Amino acid sequence: MKHDAINALSGANMDIDLVSENVGWNQAGCPWNEAEQTREHKCAVKSTSICKYFCGIKYLDSVLCSYPYESKDVLTDDAAE
Protein backbone atom coordinates (compact mmCIF):
# COMPACT_ATOMS: atom_id res chain seq x y z
CA MET A 1 0.00 0.00 0.00
CA LYS A 2 1.25 3.45 -0.83
CA HIS A 3 1.73 5.72 2.20
CA ASP A 4 0.28 8.69 0.31
CA ALA A 5 -2.99 6.74 -0.16
CA ILE A 6 -3.88 7.28 3.52
CA ASN A 7 -5.13 10.59 4.88
CA ALA A 8 -4.99 11.70 8.53
CA LEU A 9 -8.36 13.31 9.12
CA SER A 10 -8.66 15.55 12.17
CA GLY A 11 -11.67 16.17 14.36
CA ALA A 12 -13.03 12.64 14.88
CA ASN A 13 -15.69 12.31 17.58
CA MET A 14 -15.31 8.82 18.96
CA ASP A 15 -15.71 6.50 21.93
CA ILE A 16 -12.81 4.12 22.60
CA ASP A 17 -12.27 2.11 25.75
CA LEU A 18 -10.75 -1.11 27.02
CA VAL A 19 -13.28 -1.81 29.78
CA SER A 20 -15.99 -3.59 27.78
CA GLU A 21 -17.33 -6.84 29.14
CA ASN A 22 -18.67 -9.83 27.25
CA VAL A 23 -17.03 -9.09 23.92
CA GLY A 24 -16.33 -11.89 21.47
CA TRP A 25 -12.60 -11.18 21.12
CA ASN A 26 -9.50 -10.87 23.28
CA GLN A 27 -9.19 -7.41 24.77
CA ALA A 28 -6.26 -5.95 26.71
CA GLY A 29 -6.89 -4.02 29.89
CA CYS A 30 -6.16 -0.33 30.29
CA PRO A 31 -2.80 -0.09 32.10
CA TRP A 32 -3.92 3.07 33.96
CA ASN A 33 -7.06 1.31 35.22
CA GLU A 34 -4.99 -1.72 36.20
CA ALA A 35 -2.47 0.43 38.10
CA GLU A 36 -5.26 2.19 40.01
CA GLN A 37 -7.50 -0.90 40.25
CA THR A 38 -10.44 0.95 38.73
CA ARG A 39 -12.55 0.95 35.57
CA GLU A 40 -13.06 4.69 35.23
CA HIS A 41 -10.43 5.59 32.62
CA LYS A 42 -11.35 5.48 28.93
CA CYS A 43 -9.22 6.24 25.86
CA ALA A 44 -11.67 8.65 24.23
CA VAL A 45 -15.12 9.74 25.31
CA LYS A 46 -17.34 11.17 22.58
CA SER A 47 -17.75 14.96 22.86
CA THR A 48 -15.90 14.95 26.20
CA SER A 49 -12.21 14.02 26.38
CA ILE A 50 -9.22 12.07 25.14
CA CYS A 51 -6.99 10.27 27.66
CA LYS A 52 -3.62 11.91 28.30
CA TYR A 53 -1.94 8.58 27.44
CA PHE A 54 -3.86 7.95 24.20
CA CYS A 55 -1.56 7.97 21.16
CA GLY A 56 -3.96 6.77 18.46
CA ILE A 57 -5.18 3.60 16.83
CA LYS A 58 -3.07 1.13 14.91
CA TYR A 59 -4.75 -0.82 12.12
CA LEU A 60 -6.96 -2.74 12.67
CA ASP A 61 -8.05 -2.21 16.24
CA SER A 62 -5.09 -1.75 18.60
CA VAL A 63 -5.04 1.25 20.92
CA LEU A 64 -1.64 2.96 21.12
CA CYS A 65 -1.07 3.92 24.75
CA SER A 66 1.94 5.61 26.36
CA TYR A 67 1.05 4.94 30.02
CA PRO A 68 2.72 5.98 32.33
CA TYR A 69 4.17 8.70 30.08
CA GLU A 70 1.81 11.39 28.78
CA SER A 71 1.35 11.28 25.03
CA LYS A 72 2.41 14.93 24.68
CA ASP A 73 5.79 13.91 26.10
CA VAL A 74 6.39 10.91 23.83
CA LEU A 75 4.77 11.78 20.52
CA THR A 76 6.53 13.86 17.90
CA ASP A 77 5.22 15.32 14.67
CA ASP A 78 6.93 12.40 12.87
CA ALA A 79 5.00 9.86 14.99
CA ALA A 80 1.68 11.28 13.83
CA GLU A 81 2.49 10.65 10.18
Classify the phi-psi angles of 34: left when phi > 0, otherwise alpha if psi is within -120 to 50, otherwise beta. Answer: alpha
Between CA 29 and CA 35 the distance in angstroms is 10
The percent of residues in the chain predicted with pLDDT above 90, rounded, is: 64
The percent of residues in the chain predicted with pLDDT above 70, rounded, is: 90
Of 5-9, 11-15, 20-24, the poorest mean pLDDT is in 20-24
Q: For the segment 30-47, what is each residue's pLDDT rounded down to a tens digit?
A: 999 999 999 999 999 999
- pTM, two decimal places: 0.80
Q: For the segment 51-72, what is each residue's pLDDT rounded down to a tens digit?
A: 999 999 998 889 999 999 999 9
Sign, CA dihedral 41-44-50-53, equals: positive
